Chains A and B, each alone.
Chain A
Amino acid sequence: MRDDALIKAEGVGFAYGEVEVFDRIDVGVKRGEFVGIIGPNGSGKTTFLKLVSGVLKPTRGHVSLGGVGLRHMSHKEVARKAAVVPQESQVGFDFTVFEVVLMGRTPHLGFLSFESGEDVEAARRAMEVTDTERFADRFLDELSGGERQRVIIARALAQEPEVLLLDEPTAFLDIRYQVGTYDLVKRLNRQTGVTVLAVSHDVNIAGMYCERLLLFGKGGIYRDGRVAEVLTPENVEAVYGQEVVTAEDPRHKVRWMVPISKELRGEGTGDEAGCG
């Protein structure tokens, strides 16, 4: 256990009713780190993120942010430290992009108070870094998925958080926006030192951008370490139950991993139901 950890989970277990997701997670994330969470469906990646953002309470153990236990913090106190970028955002009414970003100031506003010039300035800065100023007066659902995600990142930055929690932020984006979104987060991480904890379905994207990976398996963390140590075919096959091969392009310094289909290789059982 690192004592200087900004995010710290100690003996954390969680169950939805009777269904246990994981029984013991011990992990610390240091200030300024860029950490990825990968793992198969149902291994509890998103659940863990919800425990860190305080919208779920662990059934065992405890989580702390900046040395303070989450159980002692209100939603407002948590939101000043950690901002969440979800997979997708739906807004019920026609708020403009500027109004949406300004809502990121919510945890800094007192009871009954309106946004001050300072809050507007924070929102404007957030829109500047994310290059969303030109959408300011448009409605969120008029934007493309990638633009919308940048607005939500701007809203998260307006919170002036110490940690960005990303929950599969590029799940619905095409490859250009996937890279664009992660480039933006990486730049923020490098320039402002904001800590990033990102859940990803895409092991290659996670491998490209993260310094450290948490590979979730059944019941908890299967491996925790540097990308090269964690992202091996053996580990991935053990956790996902899927054969993979890796390849690399030294010229661009990228390494990737692709799944191998038994069906396509001619080792299928002849059972057509395996498709999809």
Chain B
Amino acid sequence: MKRVTAKRVLGVSGGMLVGLLAVAVVCALVGSAAGWGRSGKAFAASAVVKLGGGGWWDGWADGVLADPEMATLSTIVFAERLPRVLLGVVVGAGLAAAGVVFQGLLRNPLASPYILGVSAGGALGAVTAMRLGLMGAFMGLSFITGFSFAGSLLAIALVYWVGSPGGRTSSVRLILAGVIVNAFFSSITMFLNYTADFTQSRRIVTWLMGGLYLADYGRVWQSLPWVAVGFVVLWLISRDLNVLSFGDQAAAQLGVSVERAKRVAFFGGSLVTGVCVSVSGPIGFVGLVIPHMMRFIFGPDHRLLLPSSAISGAAFLVLCDTLARVGFGAAELPVGVITAFVGGPFFVWLLRRAGRRRLAG
């Protein structure tokens, strides 16, 4: 009669965070021409300098970075790799968390963060910016990111307006509204792409596949606070999501404020998704399958499912992105190609192995 306790949630999350940290460091260093040892040394030395130091190791770090080759390596790791890894963490965590919440809200195992039209709105916004030739940034916010987020907000508002007649959120209507908004926005996006010139079209198609190749610290700081706050808000309704799996009416009769919980789930999940799409395009598979994998391992209690999915979604996306970056020689693949290619077989293995029993508890 195992159950989810605060201690278990903290223990599992803590352990998984340590794993994520290791994955992040390894992925930031991997694929450097200078090799592991030298990259690691450069990374360690600049980490000491950046963290302020205050001991004998300061001298060591200064010595290491005095070497121009090491200084270059350090710049590569900190300016190129690290923001990309950090953005992978934010987007992977956000998409997996949104996937958990949408599957719970809609009581539909096929739900992904994109089922309610958010990504189609985000894509339309981004593609509009690209067609208008707005490639720069305004006050540090890239036009593509800003337009994409605006498009997501438009889709969220539309879906809620159609899916919640009289303020009562209905799962079936939300899904229908999502399908329609997806189709409608996608058709405009396709039109904009079709009528674009070759260079623009190439850029649009690449963006639509989703990827972390645009990563920089600006995008990390623009997305991290939203996703972090969104995650906390969504975790607050995680127990309500458990009870909601018996249906709205039974949940109300068990004392859940059903409308409040559903509204928080819808807007929280949608906003987190919109933010992720705006900085990385619509990266598939993470938000659909990571929640299922974690259910196989830890069971369906959302209080544990949400943090475990967010952390493993982050690690998974960072790993896939590293593979996309270094696995295929000089040509970099869109990470969306890798997520399903790597994750699919792993999911099948887990599905066969777990059956309906939980692997952990």
Closest beta carbon of chain B to A107's beta carbon, Å = 3
Binds A, one of B122-130, B252-260, B266-274, B315-323: B252-260
User: Total number of A-B contacts with CB less than 8 angstroms?
Assistant: 91
Known A-B contacts A93-B300, A139-B356; the reply to A98 vs B1 at CB < 8 A is yes
Q: Is the CB of A74 within 8 A of B257?
A: yes
* Contact indicator per residue, chain B 297-331, by CB within 8 Å of chain A (1) or not (0): 00111010000000000000000000000000000
For residue A84, which residues in chain B have a CB less than 8 angstroms away from its CB? 250, 253
Interface residues of chain B: helix, strand, loop or mixed (majority): loop
Using CB atoms, name the residue of chain B closest to A100.
B246
* Contact indicator per residue, chain A 182-207, by CB within 8 Å of chain B (1) or not (0): 00000000000000000000000000
Known A-B contacts A99-B3, A114-B303, A120-B3; the reply to A89 vs B253 at CB < 8 A is no
Q: Is the CB of B356 within 8 A of A94?
A: yes
Q: Does B170 contact A (CB under 8 A)?
A: no
Among B107, B247, B253, B257, find the residue whose CB has the most chain A CB atoms closer than 10 A.
B253
For residue B239, which residues in chain A have a CB less than 8 angstroms away from its CB? 106, 109
For residue A50, which residues in chain B have a CB less than 8 angstroms away from its CB? 249
* Contact indicator per residue, chain A 89-127, by CB within 8 Å of chain B (1) or not (0): 111111110110011101101011011000010000000
Known A-B contacts A95-B300, A114-B303; the reply to A75 vs B258 at CB < 8 A is yes
Interface residues of A in 39-95 (CB under 8 A from B): 50, 53-55, 74-80, 82-84, 86, 89-95
Q: Is the CB of A136 within 8 A of B1?
A: yes
Interface residues of B in 234-262 (CB under 8 A from A): 236, 239, 242-243, 245-247, 249-250, 252-258
Q: Looking at chain B, what size class is its interface with the partner chain?
A: 20 to 34
Q: Does A159 contact B (CB under 8 A)?
A: yes
For residue A54, which residues in chain B have a CB less than 8 angstroms away from its CB? 252-253
Closest beta carbon of chain B to A240's beta carbon, Å = 27
Q: Is the CB of B245 within 8 A of A76?
A: no
Closest beta carbon of chain B to A180's beta carbon, Å = 22
For residue B356, which residues in chain A have a CB less than 8 angstroms away from its CB? 94, 139
Distance A77 CA – B287 CA, assembled complex (angstroms): 36
Q: Does B4 contact A (CB under 8 A)?
A: yes
For residue A99, which residues in chain B have a CB less than 8 angstroms away from its CB? 3, 242, 299, 301
Distance A90 CA – B246 CA, assembled complex (angstroms): 6
Q: Does A243 contact B (CB under 8 A)?
A: no
What are 16 pairs between A and B in contact, CB < 8 Å? A54-B252, A55-B249, A75-B252, A76-B256, A83-B253, A84-B250, A92-B104, A94-B356, A95-B242, A95-B299, A95-B301, A99-B299, A107-B254, A114-B4, A120-B3, A137-B1
Residues of B within 8 A of A (CB): 1, 3-6, 104, 107, 236, 239, 242-243, 245-247, 249-250, 252-258, 295, 299-301, 303, 356
Residues of A within 8 A of B (CB): 50, 53-55, 74-80, 82-84, 86, 89-96, 98-99, 102-104, 106-107, 109, 111-112, 114-115, 120, 136-137, 139, 155, 159
Beyond known contacts A53-B253, A92-B246: 17 more, CB 8 A cutoff:
A53-B252, A74-B257, A75-B256, A77-B255, A78-B253, A92-B107, A93-B245, A94-B300, A95-B245, A98-B1, A107-B254, A112-B236, A114-B4, A115-B5, A136-B1, A139-B356, A155-B254
